[in-house]
Amino acid sequence: MPHRPYIVGNWKMNGSRAMLAEARAIDRAAGRYPDVQVALAPPFTLIGALREEVSAMGVGGQDCHAQPKGAHTGDVSAAMLVDTGADFVIVGHSERRKDHAECDDTVQAKADAALATGLGVIVCVGETLDERDAGRAVAVVAGQIAGSMPVGEGSADAVTLGKVAVAYEPVWAIGTGRVAAVADVIEMHAAIRERLIAIYGEAGDKVRILYGGSVNAGNAAELLAADGVGGALVGGASLTADAFLPIIAAAGTGEV
């Protein structure tokens, strides 16, 4: 792949200003690995403060609304993320799909809205354990790709510029300590790549495909070395520098 490995930490609903010290430590380490693109997605409340504290890594939001403004209590638009200093946004995370009943159409609308403001986008996809056990994992994820990827005006250019990424996160592996077998990761990433090329043509080969789901210092090197894996979307292990830095190092050197 033509891009640097992309290692993204998703802090989810964790973090206070006291955690900015962790972000600064991560940022300093990221500067030592120029061949790795590192980013953090803190809660909305910390985006502005974190942006002011870091220089080597990207800062993003964990979600955005599809509309630019309006009567949507508690929501944040893509333009608001840009205004607070974000440079990318995560959409379609399985926790949003489950907890907020977000469907593929909703995710696609958010992705299109984000790209229209200049934000980069990470689109999350992944199957449940029941779907995998039923032999439907690839079909389910391929369907999510077809329905969730941005297709609005300018999306093809954004794909070409590498501003769009996919995060494959098997739902049953998120926060559980379980990790997909490397062979299954390779199979799924290949299926995702095939679908991306079907949507975007040759430009679909420029979309980085990240793996997520209990990535940690112990398994990062093996996962990141797997064919088709362009980085990682990391949850709990991104909350501290001590846990996150070995993953960045694994992307930069292949070792922990």
Active-site annotation, residues = 93, 169
Compute the distance between CA of residue 120 and CA of residue 90 in angstroms, rounded to an integer.
9
Cα distance between residue 220 and residue 154, in whole Å? 34
What is the signed CA dihedral for 209, 213, 214, 215, rounded to 10 degrees? 0
